């Protein structure tokens, strides 16, 4: 099976503190997402006011388990992260890794 990437694009809410957002991302990754089964890596991207992130998992089953648990479990770290996002601008997509060079 190929690795999978959960790719998200978004903007932050008006007047959101970027340093506070970056701290929320770091805590969420280090204390929660990186501990999920099949987790490989996370990247945070930015250009001007547009942000993107992706998390890579070993398999689609790992990603699906993560997504299911994210919807069913209240997580204070995730709630803090979400508090910075302008949800009108959020888009998510799942990709399979076809080839790495």
* Cα angle value 62/72/20 (rounded, 5°): 85
Write the DSSP symbol of residue 34.
Answer: G
Boundaries of every domain in the chain:
4-96
Q: How far apart are CA 13 and CA 6, in angstroms?
A: 22
pLDDT tens track for 50-70: 999 999 999 999 999 999 988
pLDDT of residue 70: 87
Per-residue pLDDT band for 81 (boundaries 50, 70, 90) equals very high
pLDDT tens track for 11-36: 999 999 999 999 999 999 999 999 99
CB 39 within 8 A of CB 57: yes
pTM, two decimals, is: 0.91
- Token digits of residue 30: 């280090």
For the domain bounded by 4-96, which CATH number is listed? 3.30.70.100
CB 90 within 8 A of CB 10: yes
């Amino acid at each position: 099976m190929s690795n999978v990437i959960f790719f998200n694009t978004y903007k932050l809410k008006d007047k959101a503190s970027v340093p506070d957002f970056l701290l929320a991302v770091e805590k969420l990754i280090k204390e929660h997402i990186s501990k999920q089964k099949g987790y490989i890596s996370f990247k945070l991207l930015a250009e001007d006011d547009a942000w993107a992130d992706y998390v890579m998992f070993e398999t689609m089953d790992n990603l699906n388990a993560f997504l299911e648990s994210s919807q069913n479990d209240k997580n204070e770290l995730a709630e803090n992260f979400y508090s910075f996002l302008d949800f009108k601008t959020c888009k998510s997509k799942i990709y399979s890794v076809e080839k790495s060079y």
